[in-house]
Amino acid sequence: MTKTSNGAGGQPLENVDYHAIGMSSLDASDPFIIAQRQLDTAAELLALDEPTHQMLRWPLREMHAHLPVRMDDGRIHVFHGFRVQYNDARGPCKGGIRFHPLETIDTVRALAAWMTWKTAVVDVPLGGGKGGIVCDPTTLSAGELERLSRAYVRQMARILGLEKDVPAPDVYTTPQIMAWMMDEYSVIQGHNEFGMITGKPLPLGGSEGRGDATARGGVYVMQEAARIAKLDLGKATYSIQGFGNAGSNAARIIADELGGTVVAVGEIDGTIYNARGLDVHALEEHFRRTRGVRGFKGGDFMPNSRACLELTCDVLVPAALENQITADNAGRVKARLLLELANGPTTPEADAILTDKGVLLLPDFLANAGGVTVSYFEMVQNAYGYYWDLDLVRERLLRKMTAAFRAVHEAAQTHQVPNRLAAYLVAVNRVAQAMKLRGWV
């Protein structure tokens, strides 16, 4: 038996067999351990009763599945998939599906927990969930990806649906994959179920504005924070880690709409840097062709993908994976403001270092909540079959993200705590209230 922390003081949680529930070891870098530690601190400040606290530390339910898929060469390969429904006290679960070769159940649990807090902090009537398949999608053909996507839905269909759990795209999944999943679910149900998944192509009930919603929502939050910090975003320099959906859209919005200067972009193959500014549109075209930044002629290449985290800039935007800013490199972060578009990019130890350095941090489940907010808008549009134009989507996204930032900022000022803890106080309190009103605790 292994143990993990219970309470901000890090005391062991007794009588839990972690091996039996799929947690292989107690690891301080484990995303789920980090998620629990963050919750524990908020629970102590909120003076949550022990039953409420313990219910919020664990997923309500989760499903593991083995997915046999016929490959193009005729052999059968068995993939492993998960779906975690963390908490649905405020509404149906909501959260993406990731295809990643290093996917683990603990990562999915952590992401489902953060989705619970994310939907609560932006105050949409949803809970938190997450899914994943252990695979390397870059090695799969389109046909294999489609068969894998459909196999996942066949196994998970019983726990999915507009009133149960609504997935969405995440790492290495796309609108096309969402379309295949929606179609498979519709076949199982015997009628169209466009609203069972979001992030779909527009002809199948997708929403205008969903493509750049994560990045745009983060920019809206950053604009509110910059007013308080008296930071001129148009004259600011930016370093971005990750050039997928969130990172590339953030770079484009920063350059085209804010007038800012993107000086560095880090990707899996390294970092490209130009102190005078990168041509983000040319870099996007290069990235589409090569799936990396190596070889881009508009800047100097560094073979370290994390080098972008330590370069001189005003705003640092981690938009890749979890656990990128740690105790080892946080002291070398030079940014004034940190906008977390990735999920869990900063460890608790790094948080403390950044706070001591005076870095204004905009935490992930606030900063990247634009995606789930527009996904919620997509669910609403699917439910009544009337679709909004882009201006209306962006207007309502701005309203939601601004209100969320102000709630977090007020909590930070009231309790004199950093923004991440303030966001937890807002979100956890809302979920706990719903649980109590329903009579769960």
Which are the catalytic amino acids?
Answer: 130
Which two three-digit tokens encode residue 322?
Answer: 């979890």
DSSP structure string for 75-142: -EEEEEEEEEEEE-TTSSEEEEEEEETT--HHHHHHHHHHHHHHHHHTT-S--EEEEEEE--GGGS-H
Report the alpha-carbon distance of residue 90 to residue 429 in Å, rounded. 12
**Which residue from 128, 122, 90, 111 is spatially nearest to 408, judged by alpha carbons?**
122
Report the alpha-carbon distance of residue 347 to residue 54 in Å, rounded. 22
Q: Are 418 and 351 in contact (CB under 8 A)?
A: yes
**SS percent in the chain: helix, strand, coil, step 5:** 45, 15, 35
Please report, as a single letter, which amino acid is at residue 314. D
Q: Is the dihedral of CA 270, 276, 282, 284 positive or negative?
A: positive
Please name the residues in contact with 105: beta carbons below 8 A apart, sequence gap of 6 or more: 22, 23, 62, 64, 82, 84
Report the alpha-carbon distance of residue 248 to residue 77 in Å, rounded. 33
Neighbours of 138 (CB within 10 A): 9
Report the alpha-carbon distance of residue 276 to residue 368 in Å, rounded. 28
Which two three-digit tokens encode residue 221?
Answer: 């939050």
**Inter-CA distances, 312 with 7, 205, 232, 236, Å:** 36, 43, 16, 11
